[in-house]
Amino acid sequence: MPNLLFTEAEWDFAALDRTYKAIEEIALGDLKLDVYPNQVEVISSEQMLDAYSSLGMPLMYNHWSFGKLFAREDTLYRAGYTALAYEIVINSSPCISYLLEENTMTMQALVMAHAAFGHNHFFKNNYLFRQWTNAEGILDYLAFAKRYIAACEERHGREEVEAVLDAAHALMDQGVFRYRRPPKPSKERVLEKRRRRAEYEEEAYNELWRTLPAGIEPPATPPTPDDDDGFGGDMKLPEENLLYFLEKHSPTLKAWQRETLRIVRNLAQYFYPQRQTKVMNEGCATFVHHAIMNMMYDRGLITEGSLLEFLHSHTSVVFQPEFSDKRYSGINPYALGFAMMTDIRRIAEAPTAEDRDWFPQLAGSGDWVGALKDAWANYRDESFIEQFLSPKLMRDFRLFALFDKADDEAYTVSAIHNEGGYRKVRSLLARQYDAGASDPNIQVVGANLKGDRKLFLEHHMHRGVPLHHATKDLVLTHIEHLWGHEVAFEEVAD
Amino acid sequence: MPYFIDRRLNPKGKSLANRQRFLRRARTQIREAVQKSLKDSAVADISKERKIKISSKGTREPRFRLDPKTAGERDFVLPGNRDFTPGDEIKKPKSGDGGGHGKDAADYAEGEDDFEFVMSQDEVLDIFFEDLELPNLVRTTLKETPNTVWKRAGITTAGSPTQINLVRTMRNAQGRRLALKRPSLRDIKALEDELDRLEREDPQSEETRAKIVTLKENLARANAKRKWVGFIDPIDVRYNSYTEQPVPTSQAVMFCLMDVSGSMGEREKDLAKRFYMLLHLFLRRRYDRVDIVFIRHTHDAQEVDEQEFFYSRQSGGTIVSTALDKMLEIQRERYTTSDWNIYAAQASDGYTQSGDARRCVEMLNADIMPLCQYYAYIEILDEREMEVFASEDSGAELWRAYRTVAELWPNFATKRISKPADIFPVFRELFKKAESTG
């Protein structure tokens, strides 16, 4: 056939280019996707491991925990326990996706469809990413972070910096704004300027210390033009973002330590939408690659052999073991996301009577592209499941809900995939994907800045579930390190 | 338009800095783990990468997390229902949260979990040797200032006149002269003679006069040519070239002495072998060149190759001093102290002919110890004997005799070992930092 894009398993850049153009035509023309410009990079397996261990980012500041991650991944990979990632894609503009050099040409096509169009569209359009991350600025910001941390290590010693980073990493889950919009990660230039000012202040501040006669306290708050820098200022309590609070109000941190906290906090915020949209993000990418690969086959652009190779890897990606299976490790986001999106298409094109009851607007509308684009843009995992999980899918997955009370000897089955249980199972599953509910709710409720400088934290327990004891104590030591004074912690029942 | 970028040629090892930070961070745990791993494995395996399992202490990354197992209640949804109906009860697994939450269980068990990863050979050895240092390394000839020697490095066209290579230069010159047909003195002489002869002719015919004119022209041309085709031209000149090359400034010879009489069985030899190998590995890392000399002895000593040394058997009595004699002899012949660092490692089961121990002590004190950087003596006992000789002071004749040497010479060490696991600690102690041994 003259139309075939490639026939060999080996890839070359010409074939990549041809295939990319064909994929692009389908993605933009048929699926009407809207994407950032793409940058596709070919890397070796070792570089893939490198990328893994720096949280999937192309550049990252240095810290031992990334070395630990690398060591772990490297060991597992070498022992053959894990295969390398399907792909890595970065929420940035241009959107960077990595192709592994060992992939066959079919796999390269699959990965381009998956990452460069599926994920890319999701990053660009989903409301969480649009509101909370800054795709244009992230790479500049990481470059700044890397330089800044390196400079701090040089100036203040590696151990000092490590101590702050350790503590900040421990609080990463508590370093995000869940409800109020965070300040955008500023461009490097702005931060450089701010850093210089902070450094100047630090020096001036030290001067002040030295010249003051003994017995006289330095001013409680250094004179700063805005309360964005330096500690003190108006505390807005309670505060759920511990890193933000410590950065702004810790009485002991130096300017560079505050900046370090800010870096970690910005990263945490950048990754937060990904945590909330795992099912949708992977579902979107998987749905897109599945649609594109099939259309390419239908149009005679790829061979039957390629299609089979693609289907083989596709099915292993969307495989969902049952709960009693040894391989079970939670619900596979690829499987659930892909199934739900395929289901939306089915409901739009060939609804059953049940679908008409449950999804009166969507059923039979025929516009599955529009429906999916709307879902991708305006939902996160929790709301997506609450809205779109159909009874048919619950039956397909044979979902059931368990109730677990710590003191009981047994779990109780509270609902299953039947007429009486659909709504309950769906709500409970949706709740399971609510990052706000699965993360412990910890807040700063007070800080005694004038007196003994004690910091008061509260954990608002949800349904009586306490914090894991040993790790709590370890994290508290980190908080004390950052706060510099005693920290009181209380678990409050709801 | 997509941008395809080929990153495969980018420098690798981007995460090396992170790895080093990690190794430094987990230093204590890694050192323990490496030492344990070395203790348990065969010495020959030391030069391999190995899997290291460390406790996660020190590299913990704690986060606040919920612990629904201790208190409170929760709901969760699982796939793959078979025949449950609402109200059914499922027994909780005894330990760990096996009910489909295996991952959580692992997370919650933090503090206990081990972390396993692969360390390269270099990383292992660096830790292994970290605070070791060969004793008395203050050698006159050595170490800090590496010696260099000038070595021939072919022929060059530039150099100083003293380095001129005459043969090469003259050969080039001759070749050039031949190629350019430079008239020799003999040719000129011949022309001159001919001219002379013709000029003397009387009467000169027309023909002769014409000849004379030609000859004179030829002669002038030949003389001119000799001027511009020089005998030696600058392009002929060649110089010998020399480069400075470092010579192995630090070299060591390691004398392995062993009693191979009947009392040394398979087990004893195996232990001794491990000891030698460890010492050898250590020396190899410290010195550019390490020679090994194997001397076995019964009532008589021989230098043998490694195979013989470890695997052949000999019967006879035991006279240790013969081995020392042999060692001295070989040292005098081949290993002068000005060029070699001398190490000796002796393994024995502690028995020797009565009276021989005294002679050994005399030899050691008078001749051997002044030459040696270090002399290590290990006595291989079985476990039962080890208990009997729990005190340093008690022991067989050789042991007691060597103790007196050890008192005089800080670089003389004696140790008893009885099982493979003892070797490593012995080794550590033998080569502790110089301060502790003097």
Compare all CA atoms of chain B with the CA of A170 and give the residue at the minimum distance.
Answer: B63
Please name each of the domains of chain B with its CATH number: 16-62+92-129 (no CATH), 161-241 (no CATH), 251-437 (3.40.50.410)
In a shared domain, residues A346 and A300: no
Question: Residue B329 is encoded by which pair of tokens?
Answer: 């002899």
Q: Examine the domain organization and report whether A329 and A416 are in the same domain.
A: yes
Nearest C-alpha neighbor of B381 from the set B369, B372, B370, B390:
B390
Q: For residues B402 and B324, what is the distance between their CA atoms, to the nearest angstrom?
A: 13
pLDDT, one tens digit per residue, over B222-262 is: 999 988 888 888 889 999 988 887 665 567 888 988 888 77
Statement to judge: residues A106 and A193 lie in one domain: no
Nearest to A390 by CA among A436, A468, A336: A336
B64 to A174: CB separation less than 8 angstroms, yes or no: yes
Window from A282-296, B143-157, B228-242, B308-322 with minimum mean pLDDT: B143-157
A217 and A259 part of one domain: yes
B185 Cβ partners below 8 Å, 6+ apart?
A: none
Where among A409, A437, A465 does a domain terminate? A437
- Rounded to an integer, the average pLDDT of A283-308 is 94
Chain B residues in contact with A428 by the CB 8 A cut-off are 75-77
DSSP reduced 3-state for B202: coil
Establish if A250 belongs to a structural domain. yes
Q: Which of A132-136, A186-190, B186-190 has the lowest mean pLDDT?
A: A186-190
Clarify whether residues A423 and A337 are in a common domain: yes
Decide if A19 touches B, using CB distance below 8 A: no
Residues A288 and A322 in one domain: no
In angstroms, the CA B77 to CA A426 distance is 9
What is the spatial distance between Cα A240 and Cα A178, in angstroms, rounded to a whole number? 8
Residue A494, both tokens: 């709801």
The confidence score (pLDDT) of residue B134 equals: 34
pLDDT band at A394 (very low <50, low <70, confident <90, very high): very high
Query: Looking at the complex, does the CB of residue A110 fall below 8 Å from at least one CB of chain B?
Result: no
Q: Does A82 touch chain B (CB under 8 A)?
A: no
Are the beta carbons of A74 and B4 separated by less than 8 Å? no
pLDDT tier, A161 (very low <50, low <70, confident <90, very high otherwise): very high
Give the minimum alpha-carbon distance from B5 to chain A in angstroms, rounded to a whole number: 5
Q: Identify the pLDDT of residue A207.
A: 40
- Of A272-276, B194-198, B410-414, the poorest mean pLDDT is in B410-414
Q: Which residues contact A428 (CB under 8 A, 6 or more apart)?
A: A401, A414, A415, B75, B76, B77
B406 band by pLDDT with thresholds 50, 70 and 90: confident
Residue A475 belongs to a domain? no
Taking a C-beta distance cutoff of 8 angstroms, is the pair B79, A402 a contact? no
Assess whether pLDDT exceeds 90 at residue B420: no
For residue A127, pLDDT over 60 is answered with yes
Whether residue A283 lies inside any domain: the answer is yes
Name the residue of chain A whose CA is nearest to B106's CA: A329
Residues of A in contact with B71 (CB under 8 A): 406-407, 464-466
Residue A444 covered by a domain: no
CA A271 to chain B, closest CA, distance in angstroms equals 16
Q: Within this chain, do residues A117 and A184 fall inside the same structural domain, yes or no? A: no
Q: What is the pLDDT of residue B112?
A: 45
Tell me if A113 is assigned to some domain. yes
Tell me whether residues B118 and A74 touch, CB distance under 8 A: yes
**Hey, how many other C-beta atoms are within 10 angstroms of the C-beta on A85?**
16
- A22-59 pLDDT, tens per residue? 999 999 999 999 999 999 999 888 888 888 788 778 88
Both A325 and A430 in one domain: the answer is yes
Backbone phi, then psi, for A457, in 5-degree steps?
A: -115, 150
Distance CA A115, CA A85 (A): 12
Q: Phi/psi at B347 (nearest 5 deg)?
A: -125, 140
Which letter does DSSP use for residue A116 in this model? I
Looking at the fold, whether A307 and A249 belong to one and the same domain comes out as no
Q: Which residue of A has its CA nearest to B115?
A: A72
Domain membership flag for residue A454: no
Residue A450 within a domain: no
Q: Name the residue type at position B21.
A: R
Q: pLDDT (tens digit, 9 = 90+) per residue, B424-433?
A: 666 555 555 4
Which domain, by its residues, includes A198? Answer: 159-270
| Same domain flag for A211 and A299 | no
Please name the helix (run of DSSP H) or strand (run of DSSP E) that holds residue B304, with its range, or none: strand B301-304
Domain count, chain A: 3
For chain A, give the mean pLDDT.
84
Contacts (Cβ under 8 Å, ≥6 apart) of B227:
none
Indicate the helix (H) or strand (E) that contains B153: strand B148-156
pLDDT tens figures, B91-127: 887 654 444 444 443 343 444 467 788 887 777 766 6
Give the contacts of B43 (CB within 8 A, at least 6 positions apart): B273, B274, B277, B278, B281, B423
* Reported confidence tier of residue A358, pLDDT bands at 50, 70, 90: very high
CA dist., res. A98 & res. B7, Å (int): 9
- Beta carbons of A440 and B66 less than 8 Å apart: yes
Contact A404 B17 (CB under 8 A): no
On whether both A306 and A356 belong to a single domain, the answer is: no
pLDDT attached to residue B179: 93
Q: Do A72 and B117 touch (CB under 8 A)?
A: yes
Q: Both A166 and A237 in a single domain? A: yes
Q: Write down the H helix ranges in B68-205.
A: 102-108, 121-129, 166-179, 185-200
Q: Is residue A210 part of a domain?
A: yes
- Of A285, A313, A341, the position where a domain reaches its end is A313
Mean pLDDT of chain B: 77
Contacting residues of B for A480, CB less than 8 Å apart: none
Return the pLDDT at B97.
44
Last residue of a domain, one of A241, A270, A299: A270
